[in-house]
Structure 1
Amino acid sequence: MRRHELAEFLRSRRERLTPERVGLVRGPRRRTPGLRREEVAHLSSVGVTWYTWLEQARDIQVSGQVLDAVARALLLDVSERAHLFALAGSQDPAPPAECPSVTPAVRAVLDQLGPIPACVQNSRYDILAYNRAYGLLLGDMDALAPQDRNCMWLAFTDERWRAAVVDLPATLRLMAAKFRAAMAGHLTEPAWQALLARLEGTSAEFREVWARREVVGQSSKAKYLRNAHVGLLHVEHTTLWLGPGTGARLVSYVPLDGRTRERLERLEELAGARGGMRGGVPVEV
């Protein structure tokens, strides 16, 4: 069923394209409503027979690199490209830079949650967006380089982040177990492999806990954080999924007592006075 759906989708995208849109000359005897199969194959630098088999729903192996070439030849937009790779059951080697889960509405929700610290993360723990309170919760998020805005990286390498976690050893072990469980569905993806290699090459502490091969799922958890600006915070770490379980999620730190609530209000005021931003970083989702 998936192969047939893929074949129909490719055929529909091919037939909607005119030769002029892709730089080809329309001949006088042309009867095809759009591009010919051999033209798509030529534009994609793949064999005509192979592309024909793809549109005939043959059981053939399709690499991500070839699908990338076909997507470019057919001028697919972001949604169409994602649909193509989903139908083919393949990983996109060049995913879009912007995360579609961080819409203006999601950013508005983040702002409205203040003074509750909140952020949007993907399953790789990249921090895609955050509100003012979160920006100063575990350090200074605005001061970090975009490639460093990742919870795993910060937990094992950033001294301010680590100083804010009261029970650091247990937290690091739990985070590594969650990361291993999440990575099971992304073992061959370059972005995940790059993060893993970066962690293993930098942190002996990560290598030690990673070698345990522990796994655990996502769950809410009460915890204490030691904020450098307002002091000890007692919060509940909560997760709301914005899409499938492997996609983006909204993470918040809800105060569990009145004192923590007051301190978070002061933290948000401080962030506002410092011109805290609703941060975000374009990353692969």
Structure 2
Amino acid sequence: MDRRELAAFLRSRRERISPADVGLPTGPRRRTPGLRREEAAQLAFISTEYYTRLEQARGPHPSREVLAGLARALRLSDAERDHLHHLAGVPPGPPPGPSREVRQSVLDLLRRLPQAAAIVTSATFEVIAWNDLAAALMEDFSALAPRDRNLVRKVFLGPAPQGRRLYGVSDADGFARASARQLRATAARYPDDPEVTRLVDELLSGSAEFARLWASHDVCAEPTLRKTFQHPLVGPVTVNCDALDLRDRDQRVVIYTATPGSPSEEALRLLSVFGTQRMDVPG
């Protein structure tokens, strides 16, 4: 165990994370760059004293459970998680939970699709990357805490005004069924991940519809090839849906495109101009 290198690595990873990245308030008196030690400890489910001792290079040998908590709390990439394990003298095992790290080439791809709305979702349906048109079509994900970017949580537990369930998409009920099935498969792939377990427990206790679908034990879902968004500014927007699986990250790139020359193509063009500046218009 290399205590000094481990301490420096933990401190550097903590200082790069903003409170907003993990859904915490920034506050006017924050002097520490990134997260405070007590915040990192809370997110890792360990005591502040224990975390402080690790950053001061005088902590005990951390267990695999502690290292998994630190990796989640500090939002480490797969490579960083492995490095953390090596510094602690514990050989890295398989990824403990769904990856949130999006390859730079995929982020570049999203930006190169100006006429298409595109998002990247994790294995738990959290929107982890998006382009400007997707934010205009759906919502400004940058203004949300990570937990509020989760589409399966939104479809089952979010507010659903008349005709506006999950952005008013025409296949909201179908998405609910498909997401429940895919989440069951995700839970089987990551049986020890507490975030997956908490998400499933929250959905089971908060949604009778999800509980019914979960009890069916179905894991196969039919792809959606076309859907219509009911947008509060430009009205109905019908798009083709194409999903690209990133199997090495257990992620999915979802691309929405309108038929050339259609009213929906013009609607997307208008949304690219509006951006998210008026996304507070009531639905």
- TM-score range normalised by the length of the shorter chain: 0.5 to 0.7
SS in 1 for 2:230: strand
Q: CA deviation at 1:110?
A: 1.5
Aligned to 1:180: 184
Are 1:196 and 2:200 an aligned pair? yes
Q: Using the alignment, how far apart are the partners of 2:171 and 2:4 within structure 1? A: 63
* Distance in 2 between residues matched to 1:131 and 1:256, nearest whole Å: 19
SS of 1:136's partner is helix
Question: What does 1:230-269 correspond to in 2, within 5 Å?
Answer: 230-244=234-248, 247-256=250-259, 258-269=262-273
Query: Partners of 1:20 and 1:260 in 2: how far apart?
Result: 57
1:271 aligns with 2:278: no
Query: Which residue does 1:132 correspond to in 2?
Result: 132
What amino acid sits opposite 1:133 in the alignment? Answer: L
C-alpha separation between the residues in 1 aligned to 2:67 and 2:277?
49
Query: What does residue 110 of structure 1 align with?
Result: 110
Shift of 1:270: 1.1
Contact 2:119 2:128 in 1 (8 A): yes
Distance 1:138 1:22 in 2: 41
Deviation at 1:249, TM superposition (A): 2.4
Which residue number corresponds to residue 206 of structure 1?
210
Maintained 8 Å contact 1:121/1:250:
yes
**1:5-27: CA deviations, max 9, x gaps?**
xxxxxxxxx7xx6x97689xxxx
Give the TM-score of the pair, scaled to structure 1.
0.61
Q: What is the CA-CA distance between 1:167 and the residue it aligns to? A: 3.4
CA contact (8 A) 1:181 1:217 kept: no
Q: Match for 1:250: what amino acid?
A: V
TM-score, length of structure 2 as denominator length? 0.62
Following superposition, the deviation at residue 141 of structure 1 comes to 3.2
Q: From the superposition, tell whether residues 268 and 207 of structure 1 become closer, same or farther in structure 2 (CA, over 3 Å).
A: same
Q: Which amino acid in the other structure matches residue 265 of structure 1? A: R
The structure, 1 or 2, with the larger RCO (C-alpha pairs under 8 Å, 6+ apart) is 1
Residue 118 of structure 1 and its aligned partner are, at CA, apart by 0.7
Deviation at 1:189, TM superposition (A): 1.0
Q: Aligned partners of 1:265 and 1:87: how far apart in 2?
A: 51
* TM-superposed deviation, 1:263: 1.1
Q: Distance in 2 between matches of 1:172 and 1:68?
A: 30
Alignment gaps of 5+ in structure 1: 1-13, 24-41, 47-62, 276-285
TM-fit CA distance, 1:210: 1.9
Change (3 A) 1:218 1:188: farther
Q: Does 1:101 align with 2:105?
A: no
Note the C-alpha offset of 1:88.
4.9
Aligned-CA RMSD value: 3.9
1:45 and 2:48 aligned: no
Q: Shift of residue 106 of structure 1?
A: 3.2
Shift of 1:273: 5.1
| 1:168 aligned partner, one-letter code | A
Identity of aligned residues (%): 27
C-alpha distance in 1 between matches for 2:121 and 2:6: 37
Verify the 8 A CA contact 2:102 2:128 in the aligned structure 1: no
Structure 2: gaps (5+ residues): 8-57
The total of aligned residue pairs comes to 217
Q: CA deviation at 1:91?
A: 4.7
In structure 1, C-alpha distance between the alignment counterparts of 2:237 and 2:94, rounded to whole Å? 43
Letter in 2 for 1:247: D
